[in-house]
Amino acid sequence: MEGIIVGGGIIGLSIARELLKAGHKITILEKDTIGKGASWTAGGMLAPQSEGLKPDLFFDFCIQSRDMYPQFVEELEKETGTEVSYWDCGILCPAYSYEEAGELQKNMEMYKEVGLPGEWWDRSKLEKKYPHIGKSIVGGVFYPEDGQVDNRLLMESLTKSVKQLGAKVLENTTALKILGEDSFEGVETNRGILQGDYCIVSAGAWSSYLLDAKVYPMKGQMMAVDIDPSDIDTVFFGSKAYLIPRKDYSRMVIGATEELVGFTEGNTPEGLLQLSSGLKETMPPLAHRKVQEIWYGYRPATPDLLPVLGKTDREGVFIASGHHRNGILLAPITAKVMADLILKGVESPYLQHFSVNRFKGM
Ligand code: GLY
């Protein structure tokens, strides 16, 4: 079977890898450079609990994917020889007020009820470990099972993997239209028409240019600063900002704004101010570190902020998009459910729940 995947981000590449391993011939269309879109601009947190998600089917989906990560990265690293800096460092959610502490503790209790660990650290415990925390922090919840991966290294590794497995990668190739009324007949691109047996649209925030999927961009601005190994040894994920120290201490990633501004380009003083003040309130001395880089990206959001996965109305046309804040986290499980659907016809309950049909008539 020959498949065409539109979008060379983490979702497209992870699905491609599964299909290639099963012997399918895969062509990946990428409008710019493979692996350098939203997945490259992300933070790389694997944070279902720290995100405060309520225990439901989406949460289960996230937890399953988080649990798949160690094996996912181990296999990838073996395949490609590229280390991806997966770090099961845990994530600490600081509370900047007693009111927020109450909300965070409620979440922690909610997770305990479904058997997932979390620990409340009061200010004195936190200060002992992290003497430089900001004055307003009253304590925090530590989730030992959340973690992070260096998403840029991961994208390098995934790109290498799909190429090694024989994917045909067409960069600077924009998919303009999915052809066929009732079933897949090809993809019209800026370089001509491509044909195959099926097509998967995993074009992130751009997916709705091709299918009526209600996916829209939610811009996020980011920054990275110098870091010292003695600063922090875990992710701080606060309501003001998140601070992600990379495992090799090469940088600390600070994120992120959430802006409904379409595909507006560039960083803004307001966005950078939000990141800088969030950093300063969380760990004041780090606000004096050298800025290494500023950048931005577009999360693929949907009306209910859940992914859109699975079949569409047209036979042979599939979608895997809308992962919003959790694309890096959800890559392993998305690849599995999409590959199971395409290779074996397995319709998991997740696919029914995340079907694009839920937006019909909107
Ligand atoms: N996953 C973090 C973010 O979307 O900013």
**pLDDT tens-digit profile of 297-333?**
999 999 999 999 999 999 999 999 999 999 999 999 9
Residue 242 has pLDDT above 90, yes or no: yes
Model pLDDT for residues 31-53, shown as the tens digit of each residue: 999 999 999 999 999 999 999 99
Model pLDDT for residues 39-96, shown as the tens digit of each residue: 999 999 999 999 999 999 999 999 999 999 999 999 999 999 999 999 999 999 999 9
pTM over 0.95: yes
Residue 103 has pLDDT above 90, yes or no: yes
In this structure, the residue with its CA closest to atom 3 of ligand 1 is 325
pLDDT above 90: percentage of residues in the chain: 99
Let me know: does 256 contact 221? Beta carbons within 8 Å: yes
Burial class (CB in 10 A: 0-12, 13-18, 19+), 78: exposed
Candidate of 62, 299, 305, 329 to mutate for ligand 1, largest count of ligand atoms within 8 Å of Cβ: 299
Q: Please give the single-letter amino acid code of residue 246.
A: R
Let me know: does 225 contact 291? Beta carbons within 8 Å: yes
Predicted local distance difference test score (pLDDT) of residue 362: 84
Q: Which residue has the tokens 């405060």?
A: 52
In this structure, the residue with its CA closest to atom 4 of ligand 1 is 325
CA nearest neighbour of 89 among 238, 234, 244: 234
Q: How many CB atoms lie within 10 A of CB 120?
A: 15
What gap in Å lies between CA 81 and CA 84, rounded to an integer? Answer: 9
Q: Beta 147-148 vs 186-189: how paired, if at all?
A: unpaired
Residue 361 has pLDDT above 90, yes or no: no
Ligand 1, atom nearest to 45 Cα: 1
Q: pLDDT class for 249, splitting at 50, 70, 90?
A: very high
Candidate of 39, 53, 240, 242 to mutate for ligand 1, largest count of ligand atoms within 8 Å of Cβ: 242
